[in-house]
Every structure is written in structure tokens, then in C-alpha cells.
Structure 1
Amino acid sequence: MEEYRGKSVFGGIAIGKICVYRKGEQQVKRVKTEDTEGEMQRYTQAKEEAVRQLKTLYEKAVKEVGEANAAIFEIHQMMLEDDDYNESVENIIRTQKVNAEYAVAATSDNFSQMFASMEDDYMRERAADVKDISERILAVLGGGAKSTVNTEEPVIILADDLAPSETVQLDKDKVLSFVTVHGSVNSHTAILARTMGIPALIGTQIPLDAQVDGKLAVVDGSNGAVYVDPDPEILSEMQRRRQEEEEKKELLQQLKGKENITLDGKKVMLYANIGNIKDLATVIQNDAGGIGLFRSEFIYLEKEEYPTEEEQFKIYKTVAETMAGKRVIIRTLDIGADKKCGYFEMDEEENPALGYRAIRICLTRPEIFKTQLRALFRAAVYGNLAVMYPMITSLWEIKRIKEIAEEVKAELKEQNMEFRMPEQGIMIETPAAVMVSADLAKEVDFFSIGTNDLTQYTLAVDRQNPKLDEFYDPHHPAVLSMIRMTVENAHRAGIWAGICGELGADLSLTKEFLAMGVDELSVSPGRILPIRKIVLETDVEEYKRKKNAD
């Protein structure tokens, strides 16, 4: 037996044969030619065919993994139309009098090296995209070998890394798990694994050759391990754990339709966090009581220019109608910090987490904010829609938001457009907001605690810095005290308070949150039923008595 370690991006157990994914080899030779126009024509035709292929891949990906995850193929189409890329290919063909294949390969190397050397993480990731589109053109030009997985049974896919165009072409019914040598937690492979709900590891130092190809293996996604030719004891243990996981899933399904009420009669709202309308199926599938966080910034991040009022209205309306009367809380634009959007043309900041972001952008660029509010107020007619504002730190911000909202109402009335004023809430995600939460609660309909940023700002720890992982402690007594204080001040003012940050899904704290009086937990859809199980089995008053006794 051989054991290899990697970084987990999705848990679970997979047992099956390994299939080493081999990329098609594109052998490129430098060939001198006098027919530069002929080579230019070959390149243009190959590029058009590559664009056609990408359109087909986009349509396939939308059906399988949703619009957000399919957007990469639209980006690749745009990259193929990039003037700098095309001018480079053309220049090499004409000045060096060489074949189109060599010009494409040379441009690919130059551009990917350029991107890889950049400091910005987003731009560095574009290096892989350049290679991917170039490989596609080379395959068209030379009828090169295609990357494939030939198998009749479901397998564990092992690869150096997988490009978006490669993952989307895989037969998902034949994939038990992904294991890659390279990649990141935000790579397309990782995103796809989470979407499919299958175990996946990255950064796994495992040989990509006949030494492992075709051999039986076990992927332990929870503990970041791969066992090749597992010992009988390991195999038996993993089979037992896999069976237990399946049984737990089946038992949780029996909780569908049940109210979220504790043994002593306390009710809690269990809502779902989503990024786009493609996630609605998982919300319904997991029996969420509503949507506690719709991240509207993804509408902006997935576009190359500001989304129009009509584009936003259609999305919000669809969500409201689909949820059929269940509450849908849409967070207004939360761009900034780790969420960069090029066309906003924001300056570089030394400390973006403390910088120009979220509500600060909206209040200083009211034309953007008003467009979103108009779409939201109009969509509120079609369901139980609520709006919440991120990164609030003071009363004056709420007052300014209300002034802008009144201006939007007046405009809509003047234009005889149908609208409804939704519930208005704010996110509590800074110590400042916690400390003045008694005053803030008098101005809004609800609080939603964003524990990710609250932890970051309370502990003065950059949550994006992996070197500080051991210092980033969302269970810190100060963080929990702030949550408790926020909930108490909300209740004194007669409004409800929930949690929509990652901490809300922490099963080890569910009972503690119930004891604090948290009214709502909004989590990823897959965590709804596990939390419901704890809620149904908990006697809150008994939990408090035991805690005080200890």
C-alpha cells in the first residue's frame, strides 16, 4: 500500500480504480514559409473553430454546473478575440515567416510567463487560461491528440491539473473523485467537485504514471489522503465509513418537511446562502426555509460591464417567484477587498479589507446603488423579498441609505412603475456595528451577522492570509460575546437577528447559538438538514442549565 497526502477541497470517501488523465501532446515545430498569408488564413480559421467549440462547451457547462461555473468559457472566447494576443501571433507569422503553430505556441509561452509573473492572484491565474486557449487552437491546426478518459466504470481521476475545458468534457457519471498534483482551492476542478459533491484533493504529490494507473485506490476527502492498493484493514475501514455517510444522508432526508423547533419549543429559521439563481435547485432540494444571503455581487463579477436594471430585475424576480413566498434576503453590492471587479476601476489599496468596499462604494457612487435598488424594489412585488446592506458601521450610513431609497421610490412613482418596499436589514460585521447595535436596531427590520469579517476585524487577523490560519479563531470568546451582544440588542428593539457567515454552519456551535437566542442561521444548502437534526434534538433550557453548572 502507498499513501499520499493532499489538501482537501471536498470531503467524503471514494473507492475505485485510478485513471491517470493524460493531456493531448501538441508537438510544435518551427517551419519557415514564404506563404505568410496562407498561414494567417489557417490561423484565422482555427481561431473561429476554437470559438465555436467554446460556445458548445459553454452551453454544456450551463446545464451541468450552472451559469457561474460556465462563465470561464465565455472568458476564453473573449481572450481569443484579444487584440494583443492576435497581434502577437500575426507579428510572429509575418516577421519571422513561420508556420501558424509555432506563432501560437510562442505567443502562448510569452503571455503565460507574463501573467504568471504578476503579483495579482487573479492575473496569475490567467496564465493557465492562455495555455488552454492556445492548446485548443493548436489542436485544431494540427488535428492533435485530444485529452480523454477512456473507461467503462466510474474512476478516480488523477491529473497534474485540469483546465475548465477538460473538466466540463468529462462524463460526470464516470467520476468518483478528483485528485490533482497542482491547483488551488478556487480552481475550476475544486469548484466542480463541490458542485458535484464528490471527494477532491489538490496539491497531492503522487506519480502520474503506470505506477498507479488502473490500480485500486481510496480517496479520503475529509483527511486529505489517497491510499493506492489499500491494505485490507484500510479498505474495510473506508468501506464502513462510506456506508455510514450514505446512511446519514438517507436519515437526514427524513427530516425534510419538519419544522425547526427545539424540544422545548424554540423556533429557529434555517435559510440558505447562494451566489446565483442556478443554486436555487439545491436550496429547494435541501428544504431551506428561505434564502438568508443572496450574494448579488456575483451578478457584477460575472459580467464585463455594469449589469443593467432590467438584467438585475429579471434575476431578483426569478428568485422571488421560485421561492414562492419564502423570505429571500438579497445583499446589496459587496464589491471590494478580496472581490475585485475590473470595470469598477478602483485604485489599488494597501489594506483593501479596511478600504473602499461594499456600502462605501454604493454611498459614494449613488448611480450604481440606485440602479440596484430600483431593480430590487420592483422585484419585491413578486415575492417575499428583503434587502440587507453590508459593512455598516454607523447611523449616518443608514440615514443616507434611507434618503437614497426615498429618491428611488419617488422616481419609480413618477414613472408609474410597480414596486414594493421590502424589509430593510443590515449586516453586523464590524466591532463598531456591534458596539452601536442598540441604536442601529431602532432603524432597521433585522440584523444578519457576518462572522467572517467580524472575526477578522475583532482579532485583527487577515482572513485571506494562510500564514495566519492558527491565529484566525472564529470561536474566540470575543467573537462569541459580540454575537451575543448583537442578538440581545436586536431583541430589545423588537427585531430578529441571524447569522449568515461561515460560523453559522459550525455544528459544534449550533446549541450555543440557540442558547444565545439567534433567530436565524443561513448556511450553504447542504448544511440545512444536519443543523435541523441538532435543533430537533436540543432542549435549549436544559443546555443552559448544564452549561451554567459546569
Structure 2
Amino acid sequence: MLMQGIAAAPGVAMGPAFVLQEGPQAVKRYEIAEEKVQAEAERLESHIQLAILQLEALIAQTRATVGPEQAKIFESQIWLLEDEEFTGAAKEAILSNHMNAEAAMDDASKTIIGIFESMEDEHLKERAADIRDITNRVMRLLEGKNGEIQASLDAPVILFAHDLTPSDTAQLDRNRTAGFVTNIGGRTSHSAIMARSMEIPAVVGLREGTKQVKTGDFVIVDGSLGKVYVHPEKTMIEEYKEKQVRFEARRAELKKYDGQPSVTADGQRVELVANIGNTQDALAAKNSGAEGIGLYRTEFLYMGRNQFPTEQEQFQAYKVVAEIFGKDQPVIIRTLDIGGDKELPYLDLPKEANPFLGYRAIRMCLEETELFKTQLRAIVKASAYGNVKLMFPMIATLQELRQAKQLLAEVQNELDLENIAFNRDMEVGLMIEVPGAALIADQLAKEADFFSIGTNDLVQYVMAADRMNERLAYLTEPFQPAVLRIINHVIKAAHHEGKWVGMCGEMAGNLTAVPILLGMGLDEFSMSGGSVLAARALLHKLDRTEMKQLAEDVLQMTSAEQIKSYVESKVPAIADWRA
């Protein structure tokens, strides 16, 4: 039997299944007498404090055995336990509604989880897992258990669980856990991040996994493709044994490229950087070999809350990331990109028929100038602590770029008058994601320090095809000839003005695209942190002069399939580094 889930952590695992938990358990609910409600609230508070002590110990353990960025997950869980909007609401429910501690905690948790899960953004939606994790920890303590899940594992097994929280994942014995599978979760959930760091193959989002598999069933987990085979045939087992050997050899080979410069076979230097949404992502990117940040998605600072982040909150977030990468490695901070599929409940934006083509990103910021200038102040102040660069999204006209730069100049003048330090030479660029901007790239390049091509939106705009529509996937292919031609045009226009060009869309981390983009002259590739070493390994095999000819060849081709087949036939090393 084959079950398809979400690929969470690459690799192959084989062995007997161990079904750890079937799903959420019913919460005990009963009324507390008036004279005992204060004691019940204190019972909850004492167990919250015990949970915090456990998390502090887990931080130390995780920092030592997995890494400092993974330990940050549990630091954020402590902050949540100290948040009055969460645990304070639970204690208030005990006092006001005479609820028992377990029921009050469960209700408060469901409220916060509901807020996160209602969000469009997958990254934020999966933060609900942190709430579940800390709620489960407190619940187990309230029930008189030690707060940790215990499993008797005599030999390496594949764990199957309804959900595996970050706490559970951090404490897995890697000698006894070959892989794990969960019913819920996504690629950016913290348990998936932990699994990748611990190099444990994992598949998540399997839905009915714990119901269709029994403890002792022999299974194969393909964490690279999100596949789980139950009772596979002998030929399948042999095939996956070979795949497992190849994967481990590839992983060992990739580690050789950690810390090495990103240079081509003919000695040409390019920049391999990462896309991030928060400080934790920045730490993970640094540890994955990224040479900086090519896209800091600042909208995540605004989402999942009920009011705008203050200037100080934003400054601290940007400053921390700048300090992680220091003075020599770039951190490109994109200004607020709200709209489209990213909404703020507390920002009363009009409902639009076509939000991706509507009042969003720089269009909104140029009207909401106080909101925009608050963010600009925070970014400019952070520029004193590292190699910060600023980038405007969704620019469509030269006039928009000039308006944005004028507001930036006003902010810099204000900070000057306040005697606040900042980098006066901070580079200012823009994303090329609107076809209109791509066609006037020669004009924009005269007034911007750099471009970053946002292929995720650019592709759907060029091809007039919604990238979320599965039926149009053939059109939202970044190898479409029209897309490649417009990318080539943008790079040439920028280079003509002596400006550098990066790419921060998913295409930058696509190994088949790397030779084409290198040949076109792309200066910077920004991708997920986990893709950096494979891209670096491939770059070491590529001669830029040869790739220039390859790019010229594909620009004459007539279909995406023809282009991909041609590139992969000319660059067989692509197959060596593909997960």
C-alpha cells in the first residue's frame, strides 16, 4: 500500500512501524466551587511554571545536541506561556467561569489555534503546532504525568503519530528512530524543521496514517518525495535500499561544501543567500551555509497579532538578523508586502475581485505613509548593525520608485536630526515581479542600486495564470520561454547600468534553472536554506562561459519541456545533487 503525504525531511527509512498516539484525547471538564477557584487558578499557574522549567532544560539539551537555532523554538514557547493573552485568559476563565484548569487551558488554546489556522499563509498557519505543544505539556503535568511522551523502543522504528510536537521531536533517540510519519503538519512546521536538522527522514500530513498502519508493520518512508509504503514488495525494498545508499553518499558529499565559497569551475564568484521570514529562519540559513539573506519577508512581523508592530519591535527583529550575518554578508529587507493572499485583520483593506492585482505592497504603503515610515525608520536604524539593504516590492512604475525613495530620504533626515546612527551608503533596490517593471528595467536601473527578480509572482503575471490553480501548472512553469526571455532582458538592462541582479523566487533554488541563470549572468541566487549546499555543489561543476552558450541556446527554444530536457542532458551533474 502506498500513502502520499508531504515531504518534510529528506532521506529513506525502513523498518517496523511504532504507532505512538492515535490523536487528541478528550479533556476533562467539571465545575469548580466558588471557594476553590483561586486555588484552581494557582494550580494552573504552578504547572505552567513547571512547564517553563522543563522547557529551559530542553533548550539546553537541544542547543547541545541539535543546534542553537532549534533551541530558539522552545524559547518562543516560553514566551507564549508567559503571554497574558494566552495563559492569562485561561486563568481568568477559571476565576470568572468556575472552570477546571484543564478545560480553561484547552479553551484558551483552541482560541489561539483557531486564529493561526484561519490564516492564508502556511508559515503562520503552522505556528499553531507550538500552541498545541505547550498545551499538551501543561495538560500532561496537570494530569500528574511528567510532561514528556515516553516510548519503549528496543530497535530502530518508524514512529507514526497523529502529531509529533517540537518537544517530542527534539527528544527522539536518533539511534532508535529511523524516521517518523504524522497525520497532520506541513513542511514548515517546527517538527519538520527539527527533523531536517536531526537528519531524520519524515513525512507529514498523511491524514489517516495512524489508522491505516499497525505497530509492527514493515514500512518504507521516502522523506524526499513524501511517500510511505506499507508491506512493500521485495523488489521495492531492494530498490529503496539502493536509493538509501545513494542518498547517504550525496549527503556526505554535500557536507564538503559547507563553508566553501560559491564559485564556478572557472573561478567566477556568485552569491548564494537565503529567503527567511523570521530570526529562527535566519539562524537556520546561517547554519545551512547561506552567505547572507536575499529576502527578509517582513510581513510575518505584522501577521498573527491584533495590532501593528512598533518601531522598536521591528528594529530589534531586523537588528538581530543583521548581527547574525555581520558586516560582510548582506541582509536584504523587503518592505511590507501585504495584500494578495496575505491579509491583516486589523488593517481594514477593501475586498477586491482580484487581490493579487490590487491595492497591495508598495501601492498601499505609498498611501499609508505613517505606517510605511515607521517600518523604514526601523530598517534604516538596523543598517548600523550589519550589511543591510532595503528592497521595495511590487514596483510597477518609475514614479512609484521615486515616491518610495523620497519617503526613505525623509526618514533618513529625521534620524539625522535625532542623532541616530545609520548606514548612509545603504543600498536600495526593488523587486522585479510586475511585467511592466521588467519592460522598463533600463529606466529603473538608473535609479536603483540592484534588482531582485521575484519569479513566484512574475511567472503568473507574465503567463496570466494563477500559480495556485493546479489545472494551470503547465503555464506557471518558470521554464516557459516567455519567462526566460523577460528574465534575460532584466539582467542585461541592469548590467548595462552597472547594477547587480539577484533572484529571490523559488526558481533560484531549482537545480535545472541554475545553469541557465548562471549563463544569463545572474549575480545572486536566494533560496531556502536547505537548498544552498546542493546549489553550491552544482556551481562548482559549471563553467560560466559554457553556461552562457547554454542560455543562448535555450532562449531560442519553444517549450518548457524542451528547455528542461536540453539543460539536463547538457549538465548531467544536476542529477547528482537533486534530493
Alignment TM-score > 0.5, same fold: yes
Give the stretch that moved more between structures: 441-450 or 71-80. 71-80
Residues 272-321 of structure 1, C-alpha deviations (whole Å, 9 max, x = no match): 22333334444444433332222233333366543333333344334334
Q: Which residue of 2 aligns with 1:505?
A: 509
Contact 1:54 1:74 in 2 (8 A): no
1:415 lines up with 2:418 in the alignment: yes
Q: Which residue of 1 aligns with 2:252?
A: 250
Q: Which of the residues 26, 32, 36 maps onto 2:33? A: 36
Contact 2:120 2:342 in 1 (8 A): no
Contact 1:108 1:131 in 2 (8 A): no
1:226 lines up with 2:228 in the alignment: yes
Q: Which of the residues 475, 485, 489 maps onto 1:481? A: 485
Contact 2:22 2:211 in 1 (8 A): no
Residues 123-149 of structure 1, C-alpha deviations (whole Å, 9 max, x = no match): 998998887777666645544796443
Q: Which residue of 2 aligns with 1:96?
A: none
Q: Which residue of 2 aligns with 1:387?
A: 390
Give the stretch that moved more between structures: 117-126 or 254-263. 117-126
Closer, same or farther: CA 513–408 of 1 in aligned 2, 3 Å: same
Closer, same or farther: CA 224–109 of 1 in aligned 2, 3 Å: closer
Residues 197-231 of structure 1, C-alpha deviations (whole Å, 9 max, x = no match): 54322343666379631444321122332234555
Number of matched pairs: 541
Counterpart residue type for residue 499 of structure 1: M
Contact 1:26 1:144 in 2 (8 A): no
Closer, same or farther: CA 254–87 of 1 in aligned 2, 3 Å: closer
2-side partners of 1:249 and 1:6: how far apart?
Answer: 23
TM-score if structure 2 supplies the norm length?
Answer: 0.79
Q: How does 1:60-79 map to 2 (within 5 A)?
A: 60=58, 65=70, 67=72, 71=76, 74-75=79-80, 78=84
Q: How does 1:82-481 map to 2 (within 5 A)?
A: 93=98, 100=100, 139=140, 141-143=142-144, 147-151=149-153, 154-162=156-164, 167=169, 175-185=177-187, 187-194=189-196, 196-204=198-206, 208=210, 212-301=214-303, 305-324=307-326, 325-421=328-424, 422-465=426-469, 468-481=472-485
Q: 1:150 deviation in Å?
A: 3.2
Contact 2:38 2:95 in 1 (8 A): no
Q: 1:251 deviation in Å?
A: 2.1
Contact 1:90 1:103 in 2 (8 A): no
Q: 1:513 deviation in Å?
A: 0.7
Q: 1:457 deviation in Å?
A: 2.0
Q: 1:75 deviation in Å?
A: 4.9
Q: Which residue of 2 aligns with 1:533?
A: 537
Contact 2:43 2:101 in 1 (8 A): no
Give the stretch that moved more between structures: 494-503 or 183-192. 183-192
1-side partners of 2:116 and 2:428: how far apart?
Answer: 44
Residues 91-128 of structure 1, C-alpha deviations (whole Å, 9 max, x = no match): 765xxxxx838965996899799989979788998998
1-side partners of 2:469 and 2:351: how far apart?
Answer: 18
Q: Secondary structure at the match of 1:278?
A: helix
Q: Which runs of 5+ in 2 are unaligned?
A: 558-579
Contact 2:263 2:270 in 1 (8 A): yes
2-side partners of 1:409 and 1:109: how far apart?
Answer: 43
Give the stretch that moved more between structures: 255-264 or 533-542. 255-264
Closer, same or farther: CA 173–332 of 1 in aligned 2, 3 Å: farther
Q: 1:180 deviation in Å?
A: 2.0
2-side partners of 1:303 and 1:30: how far apart?
Answer: 29
Give the stretch that moved more between structures: 364-373 or 69-78. 69-78
Closer, same or farther: CA 170–57 of 1 in aligned 2, 3 Å: farther
Q: Secondary structure at the match of 1:21?
A: strand
Q: Which residue of 1 aligns with 2:565?
A: none
Contact 2:121 2:341 in 1 (8 A): no
Give the stretch that moved more between structures: 219-228 or 64-73. 64-73
Closer, same or farther: CA 103–545 of 1 in aligned 2, 3 Å: closer
Closer, same or farther: CA 337–159 of 1 in aligned 2, 3 Å: same
Contact 2:182 2:209 in 1 (8 A): no
Counterpart residue type for residue 273 of structure 1: N
Q: Percent identity?
A: 38
Residues 357-395 of structure 1, C-alpha deviations (whole Å, 9 max, x = no match): 322333222223223322322332333221111111111
2-side partners of 1:133 and 1:498: how far apart?
Answer: 40
1-side partners of 2:511 and 2:113: how far apart?
Answer: 44
Residues 225-246 of structure 1, C-alpha deviations (whole Å, 9 max, x = no match): 2234555543333232222222
Residues 383-431 of structure 1, C-alpha deviations (whole Å, 9 max, x = no match): 3221111111111111111211121121111111222220111011111
1-side partners of 2:323 and 2:134: how far apart?
Answer: 39
Q: Which residue of 1 aligns with 2:48?
A: 51
Q: 1:531 deviation in Å?
A: 1.7
Counterpart residue type for residue 465 of structure 2: V
Counterpart residue type for residue 446 of structure 2: K
Contact 1:455 1:474 in 2 (8 A): yes
1-side partners of 2:319 and 2:92: how far apart?
Answer: 43
1-side partners of 2:273 and 2:110: how far apart?
Answer: 48
Contact 2:102 2:142 in 1 (8 A): no
Closer, same or farther: CA 10–458 of 1 in aligned 2, 3 Å: farther
2-side partners of 1:302 and 1:127: how far apart?
Answer: 10
Q: Secondary structure at the match of 1:217?
A: strand
1-side partners of 2:210 and 2:521: how far apart?
Answer: 52
1:494 lines up with 2:498 in the alignment: yes
Closer, same or farther: CA 134–528 of 1 in aligned 2, 3 Å: closer
Q: Secondary structure at the match of 2:302?
A: helix
Give the stretch that moved more between structures: 488-497 or 123-132. 123-132
Counterpart residue type for residue 65 of structure 1: Q
2-side partners of 1:264 and 1:129: how far apart?
Answer: 47
1-side partners of 2:473 and 2:74: how far apart?
Answer: 28
TM-score if structure 1 supplies the norm length?
Answer: 0.82
